[in-house]
Structures are given as structure tokens and as C-alpha cells.
Structure 1
Amino acid sequence: MIATPPIERVAAITERLAVLIAGGVPPPAAWAYLAGGARRRSPPTLDDRVVAAATDAALNGASIADAIADRARAGAIRRSGRRSPASPEADAWLSVAAAWEVAIGTGAPLAGCLKDLARSQRALGQAQRDIEAALAGPRATSRLVMLLPAVGLVFGLLLGFDTIGTLFGTVPGLACLTVAVLLVLAAWRWSTAMVRRSIPPSSAPGLAVDLTSIAMSSGASVPRALSVVEAALSAYRPVAETVAADDRAAIDRVLALSQSAGVPAAELLRGEADQARRDARSAAQLGAASLAARLMLPLGLCILPAFMLVGVAPLMMSVLSSTVRGIG
């Protein structure tokens, strides 16, 4: 069973916040309502701590976006032990912080902006579910083939040969064992790197386009909208401090179309962001599908030789040793 992606949990909170604000609840009170539900959970999750920090900031007149980002980063460092907001929960909350800052900075309607963000987060969550499902088979394959050398060793014991004694008690056996262990470690690192590279590099494809859509929905000028988006990304998305080249090209293309046709750009930008997410989803699924074939490389070049060294070579040495003793 695939666990609920963290971004979907953040999307649910964002959507509740949007509904409360759309219903006429002021943002400080809306955050307080959400924090009231979070306090009933023990121990509190990162989501609960972020909501509590945002509530305190809203009630005290401080920057809500800064409070969200600071708490998300602190929670990520606490969990990973590294000075990097690399956790999925933190990454999702940083997107919320950037969207909130863009909406406040341009005067865009908060409820609509939060609803759009929640919709895009849910789409990303579904894409992550699909990617995890596609990677499940290759991951299981890589783990299974790692067991082949041990299977060879057990097979020799079942045949009645002292393969363990040969491996640990003779110089040739120790040499075979050492090389086999190195080969298995190399295969494990190789296959792990392959799986890691199959995961999409961006956790929020199309985010810059979404943020530009939020900014443009306020009626802000193009230079003002782009400036606010750039500032928000630089402040709250350190892994993407500036608009990516693909997103910039998409934004420029849509803005040119909007100006030439005389139509609002916000809806066109939302469609472009959806397309970016679909493209990233398809690319990740194709990468996962080809991963099973590429995993044959560490199997053939590392695991099978390790199997021969641990499972076959000790067996042959045991047979030769028994034959020599029999002749003697």
C-alpha cells in the first residue's frame, strides 16, 4: 500500500484554509481554527507545528509566509540532521509560503489563490502516487537480486559442502569473499543511484507558472507580477531560487499570447502549469518503466560475478579439496 504523499496532506490543510477564508473568516481566525484541531493530536506533526506557527504570526501581525517557511525548515533539519529543507513536508509548505507571499504582495484574493494551490498540490500528489507505483517493481527487483550471492552460499551448504569453511578458512576463499562483498556493495550503490535518478528532480513542476498566475489574477502589471514571483521563489524556495528556464519560457509564451489576443493571462497560465505537471508525470513514468531494464547492468556486471565467487567458487574448491584428500 502506497502511503499518502505529504503534499496531499498539505493540500488538504490549504483547501480547508481556502474554504474558511472564502466563507468570510478572517485569515488569523481561519488559521486559529485549523490550529485548534491540530492541538488535539499528540505528538504534533510537522504540519501541526507549521499551522501553529502561522497562527501565532497571524495573531501577532507578523509575516505568515516567513513563519511557515521558518517552521518548515526547522522541522526538516530536525528530522534529517542536515541543514537542508529536503523533506517532502517542508518542500510542500515552502510552496504554500511562496504562494501566500505572492498573494499578499500583489493583492490577489487569498481564497482563490489557496484553492488553486491546493488543486495543483493534489495533482502533484497523484503524480507521486503513480511514480511510486511504477518504481515499486524495479525497487523490488534490485533488492531481490542482492540476495543471489547468499542463495548460492546456502545452496552449497545444502549439497553438503563446507562452503563457509572454505570462504572463511582459506586464503583463496577469503579473497573470493572480499571481492564478492565489494561487488555487492558496488551493485547496491549503482542500483540505488539508478532508482534515485528515476525520481523527478523537481517536487513542484510548474510552481513558478502557478505563482505567476496568482500574481496576474490580482490585476498586477507583468513586470510587477514577475518581480514578486522571483522574490518569493528566492526567499522560500532555495532549491529553485529563480524561475527555471522552462518555466520562464512558458510564462513568456503565455504572456505574449495574452497580450496579442487581449485575454486575461491567469487562466492561460493555470493551463500551462497543468501541462507542466502532466509532462513531468509522464517523463517520470517513462523513466520508471525503463528502470527495470537498466537494472540488469548491475545484475550482470556485479551480482552474477559475486554469485559465482561466493556460491560456485567455494563449492568447486570444496570438491577439489575433498578429491585431493580422497586420493591421498
Structure 2
Amino acid sequence: MVATVVAALGTAVVVALLVGGPTQARTRLAGESAGPVRPSVPALSWRVRVLAGGGAGVVTAIVFWPSAIALILSLPVGICVLLALGRLQPAAVRREQELMTVELPGTLELLAGCLGSGMPLPSALKEVAGLTSGPLAARLTRVIVALELGADDAGAWNSLREDPVLGRLARDAVRSSESGAPLADVLLGHAVRARVGRHQMMRAHARTAGVRSVLPVTLCFLPAFLLIGVVPIVAGAITALLP
């Protein structure tokens, strides 16, 4: 029985990895054309993931020992657990990225409007950061600090070059600064793509809410089903058997 459960869990992990891979690839491709990519951040450190994967492999080997299946399954199960843990994302990181996804279009449009009205970049960033809260304001403040320390526009945006959410925007801003192209146009283009990305996120949340509501609704109707459909049948059978 235990061996069957372990095998089923290993199969489920493999299926989840196979199904999740193309989906994430499509998400990345959509993100390149629809807006800033929302990255997948590992929930656990590499050491913890390795230990968990090794532990899963050892448990699999113990369960199936001394069969040859123990040697065949232990390594794949360990690797699958290692990769599966790497795909998990902390709830706090997910909420932060969702908040930035919601606020990003309006923030970029506001910043583009300030620059279009003739405000210098430091003043525009300060005004927008003052109207924005949370992680997005913190990232804008990073650019403001770089400018106040004497960095040029390209150097200030370089501080966000590797940012998983605003990295593409920062790289485009650097190119805009070096080429002399209007930064406001770059921001408006990213705002449009970010708005599309936000719409996609909302649709994904709506689909997820529908799936998550299945179990609670089922549990609500289960007592009524038992009382109306099962209890009368059992009571009738017992009554028929009584002398």
C-alpha cells in the first residue's frame, strides 16, 4: 500500500512538471509581448531543495527495497521533488508581484505624463513615487537615490536592469537615454503591455477562483445528498430486514 502511494506521488510530480513546463513557457512568451514578466521565485533555498530531493529518493528506495524498482525510481523521484520545489513560489512574493502588476500601468502612464509636461526625471520620479506605495515605490526610490548620488539617467536605470519585474523597462530606459529617444514614449509602450498583462492575470485569477470553489460547494451539498439520497435507502433496507 505504501509503495503504491509513493509511486502515485512520484507520478503526480512528473505529470505536474510535464504539464507546468509548456504552460510557463507560454507565459514567458506572452510576457515578452504583453508586458513585464512575473518571475517564478524559488520558495526554498537550493540546499533545502537538494536535501528534500535526496530524502525523497532515500524514502523511495527504502519503500521498494530489495526490489530492483528501488534503484530505478529513487533517482527520478528525487530529481522530480527537487525540480518541483524549485517551481514553488512564496505567497508573499506572489502577492508582491500581483500588487506591482496591478499598479504598474497607471504608474507608468503617470510618469510618462510628468515627463511629457517637461518635468525632469528626478522630479517626476519623486512625484510618482509619492503617489505609489509598496514594492513599486521602493523600486522607483532606488532610481531616485542613484540620481541623487550623481548617476546619469542610464546609470540610475541600470540599478533595475536585473530586476525580475522592471528589468525590461529599465533596459529600454537605458537605451532611450543613450540614444536620446523620448523616455515618455518608452513608458507609454510599457504601460500598454503592462495593462494587457494585468488583464491576463485577472482572467487567470477568475479561472482559479472557479476551480477552487468546486470543493467547498461539493462539501456544502454532500450532507444534503446523504440525508436525502442515502439515509432513506439505508433506513428502508434496515426496516425491511427487521422482523
Higher relative contact order (CA 8 A, sep 6+): 1
Taking structure 2 as the reference length, the TM-score comes to 0.44
Taking structure 1 as the reference length, the TM-score comes to 0.34
